[in-house]
Structure 1
Amino acid sequence: MAPSQQVQDVESQLVEEAPEHCPGPQSELAGKQDACQGCANQEICSTQIPKGPDPDLPQIYTRMQGIRHKILVLSGKGGVGKSTFTSMLSWAIAADEELEVGAMDLDICGPSLPRMLGASSNETVHQSNAGWSPVYVADNLGVMSIGFMLPDDETAVIWRGAKKTGLIKSFLRDVDWGALDYLVVDTPPGTSDEHLSVTSLMKEVGIDGALIVTTPQEVALLDVRKEIDFCRKAGIKILGVVENMSGFVCPGCKGVSQIFKATTGGGAKLCEELAIRFLGSVPLDPRIGQCCDAGESFFDRYADSPAAGAILDVVDSLRDEVEGVADGGGSENGLDVDGLRIED
């Protein structure tokens, strides 16, 4: 019996919903972590799952080897514009028609990339012998998100860690991206299940590093410091920090005024303290939100905005950092689809 089939058989024997932070029955730590204590599934998980290398890794490696550069977008703090910046980063890179770009939305409970990138709410994920097909919002820009699998936009995803890990594995293993120049991965805030899963899996197949998004206030920088610590402990190269919402652009006069004052020096000072590259500051332009709501490229609509120029400068710095790494990347140091739409 194949390891994946054995895992499915054990999953069918579980007698109750997995506890929070469950490592999942496919993990080598199944039944052994603190979260497993007192769980009715503990003995089932710890005694019947085959141990050893993750059987999905070879398939993930095969799928990922056609992608030249892989970038994680992290923040540690919610509300700093991470998904917004991910969408603009994707649009900016895809503006080079010679590049093939993919955007992967791993914010499972709050998927927003489909809307921001202009994908129709009627789009669904199609499955073929080659795998799941991403939804293309431009000739050279595809996106994959759980948002395409939900019955409607108002459906909540109420999953524990094991199911989230299963979806992340499926996105990495089963999505048929083809040959890509860039894969940009949007993650939720924090340093929890999704981050552990995607960093451990992608580090095995090669990843260029993480782009960290912050805002100028110290309350945001506190959480960003935790994210930086997470990356260093996980062995993920930090490509740099971008300071979002750094000033406000008046749509009329194009003047920039400070809204969120950097009381401790902001992102630039943080990078200086921690010896990390500062990629630049991006001012807040209310038309960015309008474009994200409409699913339009901000650069196509408002190329004369100071925010557009600042974002493109950040993208240029990021590409210089990424393309200085050898192609293939490197590091510094069975989905349950109940309730989801996947069409053959």
Structure 2
Amino acid sequence: MSQEDSCVQPEQLQPLNIEIPPVAGPSSPKHSPRTTRSKAAFTMAEREIDLSILLKFIKPYNGNRETLNSFLVNCNNAFDMASEAQASILFKYILSQLEGKAEIACSIKEFSSWDQLKEFLKTQFSERKHYSHLLMDLQESKQGSNENCSQYALRVETCLSQLLTEVSLSTTKKMELPGRTAAMNDLAMHHFVMGLHPRISNIVRCRNPKNLNEAVNLAISEERIQQSLYKKAPSNDQKMSNRVSSKSRHNPGSSTSYTPGTSASSGTVCHYCKTPGHSIKDCKKREYNNRQRDPDSKPPFTPFKRINHVEEAPDEETEEEEEEQEEYDYEDTDDDPKNE
């Protein structure tokens, strides 16, 4: 091929037309149908998840006064996060969660909104006592003589729970609720500490607790310490009985046993009345029965023993007793009517 054939003249060249598609800028976005459908499905799924989460806030309620406040708070939180379309679903779901007394009371009325149902539940199942009565119960709480710190703390916490429920339901301005709640907690801690037993109360006050829970823990721990330190020591009789019982275990052949409070003379038993502690000659029952059988007989003469610093000889005592017996017999003969 020659050089002349390979060269092309400029007049013979023609322009080449190539169409380049325009680049989509931020001002004019273009979405494919597949992208639009996926975003719509994601939005619907997100709404369904939100509704399922809101339904978890609402627990069954059976008309119990102690759980009314928590039920109302959970329902209010669910309605605050719900949309207008979800509010009607939540309201119907709340009605389905009522049980027992609450279901019976609400079945005879028709409710159009959550606010109407909430006011009805407050009226029917809130605390019957007034705020001042609950406050008085808290102020008058004292630890009993046979009551430990745990039982006393449970009474105070129950009273505080009722008081906080009444405060929460009766407070119309939400800005005042934190301050009133904190005041009730401080008041409950103060009355709990002052109502403890004096010894435990002084120690807990010296520790300066910050809240009721800390005061309860300090009181319980101090009560356990005092119970371990101030246990009653065993008495002497208990020590002696324990010692004798330990000896009897080492010497099983010995049949003697020790009983506290008895002496050696307690082994004497009267053969007449079978009462231990005296002999038959000192038996009062025998003397009484003898006098009843023979009413004319006089009781035997029992001379009084003289109290001297120097003991007399036994012979002189017997002689004096015989002389006094003779004088007694002589007086009996003078009084006898047969001699007259």
The bucket for the TM-score relative to the shorter chain is under 0.3
**Which has the larger helix fraction?**
2
Higher gyration radius (CA): 2
TM-score under structure 1 length normalisation: 0.22
